[in-house]
């Protein structure tokens, strides 16, 4: 129930951060202005006694986030990839949230597997290990399939996780509605829609059958991508709360020392992570939506292995073209074209000044070029982008939330591997390749052929549709217009013939 009772939950959040000492650490890491620091401490201190104690063995921020629950942990995972925003020390602490959370008991995992798969664990697996990784949603065990001897990873949902997520999301809805009420200018950012999007993504992650399906599709799409692996699901041993995948061994992308000791080229890995993400998003319209270091490893042969397919992003073909044109415009430093694309897509209201918007985009883009990534403050850049969007009345595009968030996470992963990476240089060949294939004359012909094929599905119905329309029309027309009806019938049949020709061309040329 999304009601005022959530006030207590939000107060508890602030109190937990205050009690654990995380409030001061976060405000310092984010370089919060003095007035904000004073307000946050003033609101948190009186309710400190309401805060959750958490594990005193953990650093303050990690302690507070793990105590508050899975939704907060998800947010902490994102911040763990952004040392440029929260600082290197805090980012390192937050990496604990990626795959080192406390596991739940083996007895509960076994009971969940037996309930879901309808057989004792000993009958299904000849070997079944203690948890090898534990995150906010589930934990993973290494096992061997009894029937085939195949080495697999078995993912099991945490007991009660759906109820815990719904409780947190309930509080997020209340916070979003409160923000909209107290700060009407925030409505253009659509905070309630953003929470609704987050809810849909997270609840989808809680059905492991959907994750198995996503892993299967992702594996098919990327089977020809050099230096990239996706473990495929074992369908007979997967269900709503249990997912079995092929085992893939590797070194975590969070462990730079081990990567260096194994002789892997971290500069090349950083570039590959970024280019793979862009390729998947633009080429396939299906991308991994949770690409933090805990879900990425490096195999002995240097391949990047992706894990955890509970959050996958999809963007339609039109949005991909818009996104590619915006990236390409920034790469070419053609801010006028970037502005035009925003207006054409309806991202910016038509009554705003396009030249002023282009000028504002130049102020965002120019500081990036010619600088090393380590010198670019993403926190300041995001703050300036927020000012630009507010000035020009842009609304939050919920269909792009996951894409934008993942781009931030992927850049953070790449930067952790190579602090000097230039994201624009890495992105350029991927974006240019997509532009040449999808925005040129050949692409236009493909679009026309596809349109003709779609319209051609109505071919068998066209004569009857034309006849019915002409009969209905002729009975209500004056004599002169009634005499023109046969000519219109001929025209309609001519259009049908054009559609048929388009279908034939589409099949023979493409």
Burial of 287 (0-12, 13-18, 19+ CB in 10 A): buried
β-pair partners for 243: 155
Question: Do 192 and 180 meet the contact criterion of CB atoms below 8 Å apart?
Answer: yes
Q: Phi/psi of residue 101, each to 5°?
A: -75, 160
Q: Is 290 a catalytic residue?
A: yes
The active-site residue out of 290, 303, 418, 468 is 290
3-state secondary structure of 143: strand
Structure tokens that stand for 136 in this block: 């906010």
Contacts of 410 (CB under 8 A, 6+ apart): 273, 274, 277, 291
Q: Phi/psi of residue 242, each to 5°?
A: -135, 130
Q: Where are the beta strands (DSSP E) in 70-211?
A: 125-134, 138-145, 151-157
Number of CB atoms found within 10 A of residue 34's CB: 8
Contacts of 241 (CB under 8 A, 6+ apart): 112, 115, 116, 156, 157, 208
Place of tokens 């020390």: 89
Q: Where are the beta strands (DSSP E) in 220-364?
A: 228-229, 242-246, 251-252, 286-288, 296-298, 304-306, 312-314
Report the C-alpha gap between 506 and 65 in whole angstroms. 55
Report the C-alpha gap between 405 and 261 in whole angstroms. 31
DSSP-derived letter for residue 299 is -
**What positions carry a catalytic annotation?**
290
């Amino acid at each position: 129930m999304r009601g005022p009772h959530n006030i207590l939950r939000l107060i508890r959040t602030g109190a937990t951060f205050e009690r654990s000492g995380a409030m001061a650490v976060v405000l310092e890491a984010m370089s919060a202005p003095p007035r904000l620091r004073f307000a946050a401490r003033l609101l948190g201190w009186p309710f400190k006694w309401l805060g959750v104690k958490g594990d005193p063995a953990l650093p303050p921020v990690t302690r507070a986030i793990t105590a508050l629950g899975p939704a907060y942990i998800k947010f902490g995972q994102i911040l763990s990839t952004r040392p440029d925003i929260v600082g290197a020390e805090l980012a390192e602490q937050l990496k604990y949230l990626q795959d080192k959370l406390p596991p739940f008991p083996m007895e509960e995992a076994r009971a969940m597997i037996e309930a879901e798969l309808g057989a004792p664990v000993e009958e299904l697996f000849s070997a079944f290990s203690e948890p090898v990784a534990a995150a906010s949603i589930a934990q993973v065990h290494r096992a061997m399939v009894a029937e085939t001897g195949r080495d697999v990873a078995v993912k099991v949902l945490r007991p009660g996780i759906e109820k815990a997520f719904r409780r947190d999301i309930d509080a997020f809805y209340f916070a979003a509605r409160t923000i909209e009420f107290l700060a009407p200018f925030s409505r253009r950012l659509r905070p309630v829609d953003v929470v609704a999007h987050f809810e849909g993504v997270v609840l989808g992650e809680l059905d492991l059958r959907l994750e198995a399906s996503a892993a299967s599709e992702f594996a098919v799409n990327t089977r020809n991508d050099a230096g990239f692996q996706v473990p495929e699901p074992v369908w007979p041993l997967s269900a709503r709360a249990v997912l079995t995948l092929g085992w893939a061994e590797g070194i975590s992308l969070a462990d730079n020392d081990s990567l260096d000791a194994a002789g892997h080229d971290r500069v090349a890995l950083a570039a590959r992570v970024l280019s793979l993400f862009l390729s998947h998003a633009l080429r396939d319209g299906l991308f991994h939506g949770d690409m933090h270091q805990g879900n990425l490893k490096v195999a002995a042969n240097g391949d990047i292995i992706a894990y955890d397919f509970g959050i996958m992003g999809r963007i339609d073909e039109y949005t991909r073209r818009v996104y590619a044109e915006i990236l390409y415009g920034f790469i070419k430093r053609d801010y006028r074209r970037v502005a035009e694309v925003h207006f054409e897509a309806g991202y910016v209201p038509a009554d705003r000044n396009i030249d002023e918007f282009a000028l504002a985009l130049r102020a965002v883009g120019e500081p990036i070029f010619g600088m090393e990534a380590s010198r670019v403050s993403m926190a300041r850049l995001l703050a300036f982008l927020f000012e630009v969007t507010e000035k020009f009345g842009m609304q939050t595009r919920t269909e792009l939330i996951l894409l934008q968030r993942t781009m931030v996470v992927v850049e953070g992963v790449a930067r952790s591997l190579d602090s000097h990476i230039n994201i624009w240089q890495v992105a350029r060949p991927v974006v240019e390749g997509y532009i040449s294939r999808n925005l040129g004359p050949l692409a236009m012909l493909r679009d026309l052929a596809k349109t003709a094929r779609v319209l051609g599905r109505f071919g068998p119905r066209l004569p009857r549709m034309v006849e019915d329309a002409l009969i209905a029309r002729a009975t209500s027309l004056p004599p002169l217009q009634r005499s023109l009806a046969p000519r219109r019938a001929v025209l309609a049949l001519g259009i049908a013939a054009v559609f048929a020709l388009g279908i034939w061309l589409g099949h023979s040329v493409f």
